Structure formats: C-alpha cells, structure tokens
Amino acid sequence: MGGDLGEKQPRWAEIAYEAIAPAYDDFTAHHNYDLWLGELMPKLEKHGIPGKRLLDVACGTGKSFLPMLEQGWEVTACDISPAMVALAREKVGERARLFVADMRELPVYGEFDVVFCLDDAVNYLLSRGELEQALAGMRGNLGPGGLLMFDVNTLETYRTFFAEEVVVEHGGKRMIWKGRSNPDVEPGSIAEASFEVEPMEGADGPAIPPELHRERHFPEAEIREALEAVGLECLDVYGHHHDAIPKQPLDEIAHAKAVYIARAASR
Ligand SMILES: C[S@@+](CC[C@H](N)C(=O)[O-])C[C@H]1O[C@@H](n2cnc3c(N)ncnc32)[C@H](O)[C@@H]1O
C-alpha cells in the first residue's frame, strides 16, 4: 500500500475498526448473512454470473464471505484494518486469500466473477473522489462478464441509527453506540457516531474507549454518476429494510439500505 494516501486522506475507518475489532462480531451477532446473501445473490444471478471467483472488498472479520466459502466459492478478500483481517484469518485459515488493503487504492488481485463490498463499507469513503477511486479499483478486478455489488446506508439510517444511542449486551460486553447525527440530516451529509465497550458485571475483557465512526451518505444520483465516471454500467438498484428483501424502486426513507449492481461498461 502506498503511504501517500494516508497523508492526504486520513484513515478514519482503519482507526475506528482497529478499535472495534475485538467487539465487532458481538455487536453484529444479529446480522444474518445467510439470509442477506440468500436474498442478494439471486439478484446477481439474474444477470448471469460467469464463475465462482469472489473478491470481498472490506471483508471485516469475514462475515460477508463465509457463506460464499461454504458454497464452494474461491474467495479473495481484503480490508483496511489489520485487526479485522486477523480475525477473518482465525476463522478460515488458508481457505481464503486475505489481504490488508485500502479500497481507495485497491490492488488488482485477479479476475473475479463477483466483486462485492458489503454492509456500508462504501459509506466510510468520505467524498465523491474517494468513491470513484474505490469503484475504479473494484472495476479493475472484474473478469469478463464479472458483476459488482455493494450497499450503502440510506438517509433513513443516518436519521435514525446514526442519531440514536443503542446499547447491545452480548458475549460479556456492553457495547454502546452513540449517534451524533440528527433526524433531519440532509442528503450527502457526513454522519458520526461513537462506539465504546465496557465489560459486563462479572466478565473480564478489556474496555474499549470511545472511537469515532464517520460515514457519508451517498444519494442515488451521485452513485450513478460515479459508476458511469469509472466505466461501470449500473444494472440494478434495490432498497431493503431489516427484512433484507430487495425492493424496487429504492426509497431513501422506507429502506435502510440501498444495493447497487453493476458491470464493466462496454466502451
Ligand atoms: C461494517 S464493516 C463490514 C465488514 C464486512 N463486509 C461485513 O459485512 O461484515 C465495514 C468494513 O469496512 C472496512 N473499511 C472501511 N473503509 C475501508 C477502506 N477504505 N478500505 C478497505 N476497507 C475499509 C472497515 O475496516 C470494516 O471492516
């Protein structure tokens, strides 16, 4: 990884995820990836998936690629946070190729049939320029006929989850999310929340002091423009709420997440 980017564009996400890593799987224990991928993959299959080579960008602790590995996919994955990648490695050993990498300067790892980037990782990109850098890198990893899929949080998520305090108790940890956004936050805004952990009564394990999560909302029009700018053709846009059932059209208020599917544009 080049050092320049770190100087020009602070690595907020890396700092945040190095801190949250030991608590991430407990905090997201209710996220059901069999359900989510079970809903999303047919939306990709509709466009024809040429093979079973997956690149999972911003893979975190591996939750997004584990079901794919179990279904026989050949998995390559990367994340900006070494601590998150180390946790993924503990789960899969050598069954997946894992790297530490910043998606804003994504290496070419090969030619993939599917490149995906899931669970609002894209929202950690804080400008249109960073979004285009990341999308261009993902495009560069698509093999012939390969498909790209990613999700972003909707405005509704920044007006609710990012504007609320949420306490999750799991695995002996009390995890506290303090949203600093507000219920009227405007499209395209940057929303912040802090995350901290204290051990529950009778449990040991370290406390994690508050660390800031900064995410940017990306409206549909901006994402479509960014896709086009880097030579990607937007094939589908879906929205879904916590039931994970993709619906069209995307509704920034009725849905919690937006999902985009694209492929390399023919030039
Ligand atoms: C909410 S987690 C999702 C992780 C995983 N995809 C999942 O579904 O469980 C977001 C991930 O994005 C990663 N991330 C954020 N910015 C990144 C960047 N610029 N390059 C690579 N990874 C990044 C974080 O380190 C974190 O692991």
pLDDT of res. 204: 87
Tell me the CA–centroid distance for residue 56 and ligand 1, in Å.
10
Q: What are the tens digits of pLDDT across the range 119-141? A: 999 999 999 999 999 999 999 99
Residue minimizing CA distance to atom 27 of ligand 1: 60
Ligand 1 atom closest to residue 58's alpha carbon, by position in its atom list: 22
Distance CA 118, CA 92 (A): 19
Structure tokens at 236: 């589908």
Three-state DSSP at 98 gives strand
Residue 228, C-beta contacts closer than 8 angstroms, at least 6 positions apart: 234, 265
Q: Which helix (H) or strand (E) holds 165?
A: strand 165-170
pLDDT of res. 10: 75
pLDDT of res. 6: 44
pLDDT of res. 177: 98
Neighbours of 203 (CB within 10 A): 11
Q: Are 257 and 153 in contact (CB under 8 A)?
A: yes
> Is 64 near ligand 1, meaning CB less than 6 Å away?
yes
Tell me the CA–centroid distance for residue 14 and ligand 1, in Å.
9
pLDDT of res. 262: 99
> Is 106 near ligand 1, meaning CB less than 6 Å away?
no
Tell me the CA–centroid distance for residue 59 and ligand 1, in Å.
6
Ligand 1 atom closest to residue 33's alpha carbon, by position in its atom list: 8
Three-state DSSP at 233 gives strand
Q: Which residues of the chain have pLDDT under 70?
A: 1-9, 267
Tell me the CA–centroid distance for residue 205 and ligand 1, in Å.
24
- C-alpha dihedral over 131, 187, 13, 258, to 10 degrees? -70
Q: What are the tens digits of pLDDT across the range 186-205? A: 999 999 999 999 999 999 88
> Is 215 near ligand 1, meaning CB less than 6 Å away?
no
Neighbours of 188 (CB within 10 A): 13
**Tokens 């900064």 -> residue:** 214
Q: How many helices (H) and strands (E) does the chain have?
A: 8, 11
